[in-house]
């Protein structure tokens, strides 16, 4: 095996990085995960994730974690409502969604991000994750890399794998190619104990998801397993809106007033989200990889997930692509069919770039449909298409 006697540093402990660590450890690899969070409970996890049979779930199966996933996924959380700005329901599959189960091509079970992270963390050997390790830089040393972290710690690894997200600090060591701004920004909020703190929206949501469309803007939300609601206001604006809008993201009154002015045509029921959310709110400008990105593979550094192919979240592909990356990279690194690590990494990267470009184009196109003047009609056509 090419990675025998090779130390591997995975930088980033999201779903992709943890899945990769698990898959490599099953093959006997020497792996450490360097994660910037202080500990496993350091932050609120975002909205639930839906895993797809041929990507996210394929990685879960290969990692021998399917039974644990089945015990923890959110039954019924994939049910969808499509509404307009007045919260009038135009589509619901709460009573008509066909019975699907694991192994079905279109079954996309949802799971809380925190729960998925817990399943993956508990599958790893003790001491695998090195917390409070905020990557700063690295430099070549012998045949490997010397890594520097913000807390003044260092580490050496023969192979470095970037799993550090859309703003990856390792990506520039691999390519100069940069993501472009899509024109869309999402504004994230989170409501604790939604049944008490947002009862009107919670009653509509019914433990599923809502997509609300009106005036070229969206509100997207989903129920978490603990009863919280994660929600996003999604709209077109300039790339620097998040830093130039003058908003204090810890000032709830300011944010409520912003929503009233930015979404003036929307029913006051939606104010409940902004009036009762935790602070701070989080602005997220949405970026996308160039579809033709390319670089020459190296023998000791590569990347997966958003570090490799950040894309809009409008096709549900982000985490699934990251976990499929983990699966395919682990198989290339542990295969006996390649003569060198550079060849193994090159095969992985070529495949990854090709499928990521397809998924990114789909996500970008969906984002345009969802923010068009006729977005509601677009999404109704999408969900009512029997071929979807």
Residues 6 or more apart whose Cβ sits within 8 Å of residue 77: 48, 109, 110, 207, 208, 209, 222, 223, 225
Residues whose CB is less than 8 angstroms from the CB of residue 118 and which lie 6 or more positions away in sequence, other chains included: 40
The terminus-to-terminus CA distance of the chain in angstroms comes to 41
- Cα separation, 69 vs 90, whole angstroms: 32
Binding residues: 43, 50, 113, 306
Per the structure block, which two tokens stand in for 228?
């919280």
What is the torsion angle, in degrees rounded to the nearest 10, for the CA atoms of residue 374, residue 380, residue 383 and residue 385? -90
CB atoms within 10 A of CB 117: 18
Contact 146, 289 (CB under 8 A): no
The rounded distance, in Å, linking the Cα atoms of 66 and 202 is 30
Instruction: Kindly tell me the burial class for residue 95, based on how many C-beta atoms sit within 10 Å of its own C-beta (0-12, 13-18, 19 or more).
Output: exposed
Question: Whole-angstrom Cα distance, residue 62 to residue 49?
Answer: 19
Bind-site residues for NADPH: 43
Residue 175's alpha-carbon distances to 23, 302, 307, 308, in angstroms, are 26, 10, 11, 10
- Give the annotated binding-site residues for FAD: 50, 113, 306
């Amino acid at each position: 095996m090419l990675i025998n006697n090779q130390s591997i540093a995975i930088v980033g402990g999201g779903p992709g990085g943890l899945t990769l660590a698990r898959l490599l450890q099953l093959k006997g690899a020497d792996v450490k995960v360097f994660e910037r969070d202080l500990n496993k409970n350091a932050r609120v996890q975002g909205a639930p994730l839906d895993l797809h049979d041929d990507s996210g779930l394929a990685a879960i199966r290969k990692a021998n974690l399917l039974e644990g996933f089945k015990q923890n996924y959110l039954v019924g959380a994939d049910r969808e409502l499509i509404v307009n700005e007045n919260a009038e329901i135009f589509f619901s599959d709460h009573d008509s969604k066909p019975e699907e189960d694991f192994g079905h091509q279109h079954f996309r079970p949802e799971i809380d991000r925190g729960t998925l992270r817990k399943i993956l963390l508990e599958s790893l050997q003790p001491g695998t994750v090195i917390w409070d390790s905020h990557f700063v830089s690295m430099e070549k040393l012998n045949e490997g890399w010397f890594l520097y972290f913000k807390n003044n710690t260092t580490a050496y690894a023969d192979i470095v794998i970037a799993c550090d997200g859309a703003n990856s600090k390792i990506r520039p060591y691999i390519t100069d190619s940069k993501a472009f701004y899509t024109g869309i920004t999402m504004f994230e909020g989170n409501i604790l104990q939604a049944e008490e703190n947002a009862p009107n929206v919670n009653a509509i949501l019914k433990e599923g998801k809502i997509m609300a469309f009106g005036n070229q803007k969206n509100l997207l939300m989903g129920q978490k397993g603990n009863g919280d609601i994660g929600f996003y206001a999604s709209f077109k604006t300039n790339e620097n809106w998040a830093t130039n809008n003058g908003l204090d993201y810890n000032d709830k009154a300011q944010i409520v007033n912003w929503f009233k002015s930015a979404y003036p045509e929307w029913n006051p029921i939606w104010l409940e989200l902004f009036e009762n959310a935790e602070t701070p709110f989080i602005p997220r400008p949405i970026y996308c990889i160039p579809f033709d990105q390319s670089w020459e593979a190296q023998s000791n550094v590569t990347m997966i997930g958003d570090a490799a192919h950040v894309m809009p979240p409008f096709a549900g592909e982000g985490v699934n692509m990251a976990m499929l990356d983990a699966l395919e990279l682990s198989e290339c690194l542990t295969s006996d069919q390649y003569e060198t690590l550079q060849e193994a990494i090159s095969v992985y990267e070529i495949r990854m770039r090709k499928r990521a470009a397809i998924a990114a184009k789909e996500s970008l196109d969906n984002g345009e449909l969802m923010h068009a003047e006729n977005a509601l009609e677009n999404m109704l056509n999408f969900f009512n298409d029997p071929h979807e």
